[in-house]
Amino acid sequence: MSKLWQKSTDVNALVENFTVGSDREFDEQMAAFDVLGSLAHTIMLESVGLMSAADLDLVRHELKKIYREIKAGNFTIAPDVEDVHSQVELLLTHRIGDAGKKIHSGRSRNDQVLVDLKLFFRHELQQVVEETEKLFRQLIALSEKHKDVLLPGYTHLQVAMPSSFGLWFGAYAESLADDLEMVLAAWKITNKNPLGSAAGYGSSFPLNRTLTTKLLGFDSLNYNVVYAQMGRGKTERVIAQALSSIAATLAKMAMDQALYLSQNFAFVSYPDTLTTGSSIMPHKKNPDVWEIMRGKCNRLQALPNDVAMMTTNLPSGYHRELQLLKELLFPAFTDLKNCLHMASFMLQNVTVNMDILSDPKYTYLFSVEEVNRLVLNGTPFRDAYKQVGSAIEKGEFKPGKQVKHTHEGSIGNLGNKEITAAVDKILKSFNFEKVASAIESLLK
């Protein structure tokens, strides 16, 4: 297996296979970002006199060509090549000669991995944000569309008080708003440049880390080179918390959907094409999409603990098991994006039951409304409570079924406009345009 760091002694094949594991497969997902990091690094090398302008022209031209090949799906890590960094450098050297051998000056594979991961995570977080925003706006639209349609609210799975589809859909929209705050925190920690920290102790070359920060569209640096290396694992843990937060919202919504689709509730329905049947029960309409989503998102909620257990007792500096974090984070992004996409798809086809509360079993849903009506007419609350309780016990409770809730965030005053404004503010804080502009300039 080709390694840029290999000396004269071959590593035992069994050791080789065990330590490399599936890392090469995950590395292929970082190939485009590895090229971007090398483009920025070589521009910086030329600016500080560590690469000639002629060599830089050769390197940049060929790196951009490799980048296009990656985007076209024409890039693989050869079976005898250890990782993506080796593959890109070997390709470059094979095509342009000695100039390709100069791109590693002032770098270690450690900070090369770090910058690749930061760029990859940044890209994935943006996609998560975009899928989350799509679902958020869909939930707000459903909340507004069905804001006057009542449904029962439950506590302890017992009929409690009137709710509405406006509240139900809107609750998950606001939950996603808080989740986006978590993602923004993860984005801010991710969007710092570790390049130039080398093996975690800096370099005696006169590197310009501020320049590579600008070229790659990072907001700032991981300044301390030891902390830059320590950030591996910590960055993943913060990202895991953010992904887990969205997953928790989706899992709860999936549970509600599965429950509300059942015949005992029948609050919502979906076309037959979006549910599945039974091998022996012809009446079944199973919510398989929501159930699979619930399972995947419950598993995603274990992600922060998985990352913590991988890194919690490590001292500072690099350790080989850090590569195993890819096995946790990379599939997690894919699963969460798929769940967000499927939630949006399903909700495009949801039908709500417009007349749920006419069922007599929901009569007691209005007990609090009746207590409050008496209080508003001058009866002390404790007396009103006893009067309504007595009527229920005697079977004489016959409430009106109209509700009038006016305070902020209630049935009649959902606050969707304010929730949307908060999300718009969060989304603006990501400043994706800055990143896109920097990468576009780098590839010109």
CATH of the domain at 32: 1.10.275.10
291, part of any domain? yes
Above 70 in pLDDT, residue 88?
Answer: yes
Q: Tokens 């501020």, residue?
A: 210
29, part of any domain? yes
Same domain as 314, residue 195: yes
Contacts of 31 (CB under 8 A, 6+ apart): 70, 75, 77, 84, 87, 88
159, part of any domain? no
217, part of any domain? no
- Which amino acid makes up residue 267? F
Same domain as 392, residue 343: no
Same domain as 181, residue 242: yes
Cα dihedral sign for 192, 198, 201, 206?
negative
Q: Report pLDDT digits (tens) over 115-145.
A: 999 999 999 999 999 999 999 999 999 999 9
Q: Residue 54: its pLDDT value, please? A: 97
In the chain, the percentage of residues whose pLDDT exceeds 90 is 75
**3-class state of residue 80 by DSSP:** coil
Q: State the total domains in the chain.
A: 3
Same domain as 425, residue 296: yes
In the chain, the percentage of residues whose pLDDT exceeds 70 is 93
158, part of any domain? no
442, part of any domain? no
Same domain as 244, residue 377: no
Above 80 in pLDDT, residue 152?
Answer: yes
**3-class state of residue 46 by DSSP:** helix
Token pair of 90 as six digits: 């070997």
Other CB atoms within 10 Å distance of the CB of residue 75: 19
Supply the DSSP symbol for 12: P
Q: Residue 119: its pLDDT value, please? A: 98
Same domain as 80, residue 135: no
Same domain as 370, residue 266: no
24, part of any domain? yes
pLDDT band per the 50, 70, 90 thresholds, residue 435: very high
- Residues 82 and 109: their CA atoms lie apart, in Å, by 12
Alpha helices in 31-159 (DSSP H): 31-47, 53-71, 84-96, 109-145
From 49, 70, 102, the end of a domain falls on 102
Determine how β-strand 150-155 pairs with β-strand 268-269: unpaired
- Residues 161 and 187: their CA atoms lie apart, in Å, by 39
Task: List the one residue out of 242, 225, 232 whose CA is nearest residue 118.
Answer: 232
Supply the DSSP symbol for 410: B
- Residues 45 and 51: their CA atoms lie apart, in Å, by 6
Same domain as 128, residue 57: no
Above 50 in pLDDT, residue 1?
Answer: no
- Residues 131 and 406: their CA atoms lie apart, in Å, by 32
60, part of any domain? yes
Q: Residue 348: its pLDDT value, please? A: 97
Same domain as 276, residue 186: yes
Q: Report pLDDT digits (tens) over 302-346.
A: 999 999 998 988 889 888 888 889 999 999 999 999 999 999 999
What angle (nearest 5°) sits at the alpha carbon of residue 183, between those of residues 121 and 132? 95
Same domain as 423, residue 409: no
Same domain as 381, residue 342: no
Same domain as 132, residue 265: yes
Token pair of 77 as six digits: 């890590």
Token pair of 73 as six digits: 């799906």
- Owning domain of residue 383: 359-413
CATH of the domain at 327: 1.20.200.10
